[in-house]
Structure formats: structure tokens, C-alpha cells
Structure 1
């Protein structure tokens, strides 16, 4: 048994780590002989390339065949087939013996038949239950939802919002009328049977009888079925925030009056379960079913390449993915919220102050009320909860309104409109400027503000003039930015860079301008920013680089990255072998900051 030391609260305990409790995710290269054999064998059985490294093992698709088929059907309609074509090379590997999982992953990352290897990410719910006696929905007034309804054309069609969570109480009197129903799986079939229960995949999407969603974690989480009824109340509460029925003379009001809530269950049936299972399958299913917005009120630390690819696929299918920024109360990225394609949401209170539990970080895009939020729970009841789990569906609801009023918008354009119209709350907690997004969401401004511009930082490349990529005193950094003008045509855009590093570097070129950019245009800036590292910079100093895009003096885009300066180690790599030498003469391997 391998052991590792883990901190729990203020104490330390020893935990044995079995690979069976944390499977591996691999992506096989398209040229891999093992991939060809595995695919020929029906995408089942062991992978020949892994036998020398892991011994006997089981390998199965990360994404089931039915889900891939459903997603590809949607991809053909959205002309996004290319991005999804590689998802069948994602493999879930389980080894029935105790191993050092972290070491195994590092070995496999250099395997010539693999694009990457990683541990299956752990994801948890982001809600904090609280007092059930509050009867007021302060948040709807604060984000101006009622005013937004008046700005929404009366003839808009209902928008599908995927609630990838613990399931929804579909009989709740305040939700029943807004539950998504799959038209291809209802009615009577040619044999006179009810399509909802005839055991046939009537709509050909790969899921039998999924007439009102799907359960990817039935029972203890090991099965799947067509009943996404709730275990934990969390998902019903989230659904109520987005889409509780409006003007039905009872209960509460959701943010979106015309909505269809697609129930996608990714948690076990136990009422107290907080773990999320097969979340990546749930996200892709919701996108394949046509959800214009997908809410993910869950997450965890550590990025995952496989999860990121699936998020990108969901966006390519036309979905905006909204996710909670986490409840750890610290400055840290939280996934899937921190992926650049996801709208990351921090939580605030009724005074527009950051909620005490909410994470804060440069990867957060926007904030929303997340304390004492009153919403539905199973059994026709209501209670209040707090968490970024509650803030995320606030934003998801506003995104849904935007997609109703601007049906031609791409996912990125809908996200940009919501971010650019947020109310700036930085002055209330200036130390959080840039760490809780563009501000607190404002539904009315999101639907009405015109004209609106947004030019986002698409990518950042940092190199030094001598080309060794070890940044030392006196080195000049060359920083290239690529911009993406998301909304209206613009001219006279400026971009500047700032770092809070002490001592400050010498800014040789810290501002650049672009004359004009067409709507949708992506452009690499004509010159790089230039910064020279100052004397007195400490060893292993982390330099944070913040970029701001401005139009007529107003910020319309941001970018952020970090680099380690004066590292006290050097890594030499050749023929799939990498070794690190530090300043004390020790020899090891160090892949920071990549992992």
C-alpha cells in the first residue's frame, strides 16, 4: 500500500491511495497501434501499450458510444464535427492493484502512443445549506430581473437550460410546468406503446426513453437510467433559481420566465451525497440535447485536459457553460469554472460584498448574489441556501435571457454581453479588483445596453530575448497578445500591461494600440510588450502579468498570466527523459508550473 500525508482541517492523517479509487484518463494518439487494436475490438479490453507499465487493467471509453453519437448528431447541425472527432480517443483506465498513481501518470505522460495522461478529476457540489425560513428573493431585485422581463420581447421562445446537478424534483408545483420534455420520446409508437417507457430509443440519440433528461449516476453512482429525480436537494434548488414558474400565484419566481429545465443528474441518490460522478458526460449530453445554457454548480481543484476538451466540445455545439467558482474562500482557480470557455461565477451578498466563502481569482468572470438564496427543494418545499452554487444559476439565468433576446449570438458573444454589462463593485472592496470578475451581474443592462463592445485577450505568449525561457535579472521579456473582438466593430483600442511584482520590472514597452478591428476579428498585436527584470528580484519570484484592453478609456477586455522568475533549478530533457538539477546539487524532476 502506498501512503500519502493529507491535511484535514488542522490535523494530518495518512491515507492509502488505490488507483481503483481514482481512475486514469488517457488520450491515445490517432496514429497509435494500441488505439487501432482497441477500436477494432469495440473500444473494450486492455490497451497493449500499457501492459508493460500497469500490468492487467481495464480500459473503457470515457464517453459512452451512445453519448458520442448523440453529440455528433448535434455537431452536424452546428457544423462543429471536427472538434468532436477526437473524443473517441479518450480512455478511462482502472488498475486493480495498489500503485503510486501520481508517479504512474508522470510516466505515461511521456509515452509515445499517448497525447496525455491524467488522474480523473474529483468534483464536488458548491452549496452550503442554511435557514429555511426566509421568504424574500432579494437577489431578483438586486440584479434587476423584473426590469429585464419588461425588456424581453413577448414572442420569444422558451430556452433550454441544462441543470447538470443532483437531479430535479420534476413534480414540484413551482417547477413542473417548466421541465424539458424530449418530444422524440413521448406519444404512442407504432405498436401502440407509450414512448416514455417502451424500452426503445425512439429519437435515435443513443439514450433509451430519455423523455425528460438522464441520470448518469443512478443508485450509488454506478448505473445510468432515465429518471433524473433528485437525491440531494441541491439540484432542485439550483433549478428553482433559474426557472421556477413565474406568475403562477404560488411559491417563488425564477430568473427566466420562458424556460425548459433539462434535468441531467450526475450525483448518487443519497440525500447527503456531495460527490459528482460522470459530470463530463452530463455536460456533453446537455449540449447534444440543445441546451443553450448549461449550469455547473460544482467543481474542484486541478485542471483536466479531458474535461477541458469536453467543455470545448459543448461550447462548439452552441452551449454557454456557466460554473461556480468554489467555496474555499481563497485565491485559487477552480474547475471547470477556470477554463477560458466557461463563465466563472463568484458569490456576493445583499450589499454587493464578496461572500465570505467565495473563492476569488483572476480566472473569475463575474459575480452574483449567492448568500441566503430562497428557492425550491424536493417535496414542494422551499428553503434558503448559500454558495457559489447559488450564484452560478443567477448568471445562467441572465445568459438564458440574453440568448432569448439575441438568438443569433454565439456562446462567446452571449458571455461577453453579460460580463460587459455587470455593475462594477470594485470600489466596495478595492483589494479584490480584478479578482471577482467584471462586477455583479445586471440582467436589465444585459438586455438593453447598446452599443456594446468587448475585445478579449485570446492568448498570451511570453519569451525572453536569449531564448532559454529562464527569466533572470536583466533579461528582457517579449510578450505577444492575440485579441478577439467579440461584439461590435471598434477602433482606437489600447492595451496595457501591469505587474504588482516588487521590485517592479523596467517597462520598455507597456502600451500598444490597434487602429480598427472588425466584429469577430482575431488579431495578433503588431509588436510585443517589453519588460526587463529588475535587479533585486528574488529567487523563484512569481510575476503576475495583468493586461487591460481599453476603448475610449473604458476597459473592454482583460488577460492574465504568471511566470516564475530566477528559478533555482534547471530541467534538461531528451528522448522522453527529463531531469531537474537545483541550486543545492539535488537531482529530481520538477514540472512546475505545468502541473
Structure 2
């Protein structure tokens, strides 16, 4: 295929740029103009007829050397007998992971993940999703290769950190969240993560004594102080060689606004360039600010 480039979309399209074949365009002549006349008029204007697409009335042409696609389209429309001129757009196979469970992941369609994967699967730069939750199960086959750094536990009572404590035994919420975010993908197993190349960091803020049932309220809960401590702990890791860009995931919820200390930790994180993603809730109610 000839070289590719980005060209401005035509008026009325939602897409601002589209990948096109550099140095080429497609034109449509008036049907009364013969093939020889088309060729001579194109040559006289500095263009080269490459191929006439049978029975469609469209012709593939090469642009003069050094002429951009957008400029070439404008020049082609000045050639006598040409009714339309369009770029030779690039099409590619859609990137679809081969994980057997991907067909059940309806959210991927809703968030247009397949379209995003055509451009980026999360492998071009290092990104780490810090999951502040019940602790990620490091033995899970879809997760084990994604975990980096030291897993941390922040006590819900006093926020004090400790290292390498296992996830809560009764509630595997963090492992589920981690799988949605960054499970091993396109590996013919399990589900597909949103980021195929992203890494995971486990920050546990729930204790076993507070989660004696399988993530069911009100038996499973933690404190704002432990969440704020976890956010403050991970923020300095942003833009480091080991972790790259940090994204904090908070698939947690409560009633009302967060406290001033928790808001301060979130503000400090976002000011430092960290992206913080929080749950909107499971109640189907709209909580977005207008």
C-alpha cells in the first residue's frame, strides 16, 4: 500500500481526521467523457490515471509529487468533466480479542472499546491501574502477569499501611475490577481487559473482619481515612519508570459528598496528573454534575 497520512474529514462528518492513502485520490468523471479524454485531461493537470474501477464510474489517480491529499482534491475539482473527488481512505481489519468470554462483555460495545482498540490497546506506553479495593488475587491466571510493585493494605481503623497482605477471603471484588480493567487479553482465555498492556497495583482498604460476606452491604465496608491514605500513598508513583502513568480506580460508593480529607487527597492526585476514576453507583440513578 502507498504511504498513509491523516487528512481532514469532509464537511458534515463527525470525525475530525481520517487515515487516507497519501498521494492518491478517487475521482468521478461525467459519464459522457471517454477513457482517453479522462487520461489526457488528468495528465495535462499533472495527475496520473492509475485505474478505472469497472462499472462504477470512479477512477483512481496519483497526485503530483509533493501535493497533499486535501490540496490535490481541490485541484482535481478544477479539471473539466470531474464531478466529484474524494480521498482514497484506509480500511483495516477490526481488532477483536480472542478471549472466549468477550461476547458477554456488553460494556465493551457500549464504551466503543473495539473502535478504541483499532488505534491503541494500551501497549505503546506504561500505564498502571491502582485498584483501591479489597485486594487483588495475585494467583488468578488472568491477573498474575499484570501485577507490579508491592501490594499494600491500609487499615480502615487507623489508615496505617502494611505490605503484602492477601485479599479479603470472602470478597473478590478487587480481582473482578482488576480483570475488567486489565486482564490478560487476546490470549484465548477468560475475558478481555480494557487495557491489554496496562499493569495493576493492588491497594487494599477492606479488612477480612469487615467483609465477612461476599461483598454484600452492610457487612463489607471501609473508611474514608483508609481510602485517602491509599490515594496519598500511590500519587508519588505517577510518572516513574516502574509505574508510568497512574490511573486510580475507586469502584466504591457511599452516601453524599466525600469528606474534605478525601477530597483533598483526590485533588492532590489530579493536580499531580493522576487520573482518578470513581464508580457512579449501582442504583441506576444519575449522579453526574450538570
The residue that corresponds to 2:75 in the other structure is none
1:171/1:271 CA distance change after superposition, 3 Å: farther
Superposed CA deviations along residues 234-276 of structure 1, whole A, max 9, x for unmatched, are: 1111111000001222111100011111111011124425212
The residue that corresponds to 1:149 in the other structure is 117
Superposed CA deviations along residues 106-133 of structure 1, whole A, max 9, x for unmatched, are: xxxxxxxxxxxxxxxxxxxxxxxxxxx9
**Alignment match of 1:268 (pick from 202, 207, 215):** 207
**Alignment match of 1:160 (pick from 128, 148, 159):** 128
**RMSD (Å) for aligned C-alpha atoms:** 2.7
The residue that corresponds to 1:285 in the other structure is 233
Whether the 8 Å contact between 2:123 and 2:197 is mirrored in structure 1 is: no
The residue that corresponds to 2:179 in the other structure is 240
Whether the 8 Å contact between 1:233 and 1:271 is mirrored in structure 2 is: no
Whether the 8 Å contact between 1:228 and 1:263 is mirrored in structure 2 is: no
Superposed CA deviations along residues 342-372 of structure 1, whole A, max 9, x for unmatched, are: xxxxxxxxxxxxxxx2221342xxxxxxxxx
SS across alignment from 2:176: helix
Measured in 2, the distance between the counterparts of 1:288 and 1:250 equals: 34
**Alignment match of 2:287 (pick from 343, 361, 368):** 361
Measured in 2, the distance between the counterparts of 1:287 and 1:274 equals: 26
The residue that corresponds to 1:216 in the other structure is 154
Whether the 8 Å contact between 2:102 and 2:192 is mirrored in structure 1 is: no
- 5 Å-filtered alignment, 1:341-352, equals none
Deviation at 1:154, TM superposition (A): 8.0
Measured in 2, the distance between the counterparts of 1:283 and 1:310 equals: 6
Whether the 8 Å contact between 1:228 and 1:264 is mirrored in structure 2 is: no
Measured in 2, the distance between the counterparts of 1:180 and 1:314 equals: 20
Deviation at 1:222, TM superposition (A): 7.4
Measured in 2, the distance between the counterparts of 1:216 and 1:311 equals: 16
Structure 1 residue runs of 5 or longer lacking an equivalent are 1-132, 182-211, 328-356, 364-559, 561-595
Quick check: which one's strand share is greater?
1
- 5 Å-filtered alignment, 1:62-81, equals none
Whether the 8 Å contact between 1:221 and 1:268 is mirrored in structure 2 is: no
The residue that corresponds to 1:405 in the other structure is none
TM-score by length of 1: 0.27
Whether the 8 Å contact between 2:121 and 2:195 is mirrored in structure 1 is: no
Larger Rg: 1 or 2?
2
1:359/1:153 CA distance change after superposition, 3 Å: closer
Measured in 2, the distance between the counterparts of 1:166 and 1:268 equals: 8
Measured in 2, the distance between the counterparts of 1:150 and 1:177 equals: 24
The residue that corresponds to 1:455 in the other structure is none
SS across alignment from 2:234: helix
SS across alignment from 1:276: coil
Measured in 1, the distance between the counterparts of 2:246 and 2:159 equals: 28
The residue that corresponds to 1:299 in the other structure is 253
Deviation at 1:326, TM superposition (A): 2.4
SS across alignment from 1:275: coil
SS across alignment from 2:128: strand
Measured in 1, the distance between the counterparts of 2:135 and 2:159 equals: 16
Deviation at 1:306, TM superposition (A): 1.7
1:319 equivalenced with 2:270 (yes/no): no
Superposed CA deviations along residues 546-592 of structure 1, whole A, max 9, x for unmatched, are: xxxxxxxxxxxxxx5xxxxxxxxxxxxxxxxxxxxxxxxxxxxxxxx
TM-score by length of 2: 0.53
Superposed CA deviations along residues 58-114 of structure 1, whole A, max 9, x for unmatched, are: xxxxxxxxxxxxxxxxxxxxxxxxxxxxxxxxxxxxxxxxxxxxxxxxxxxxxxxxx
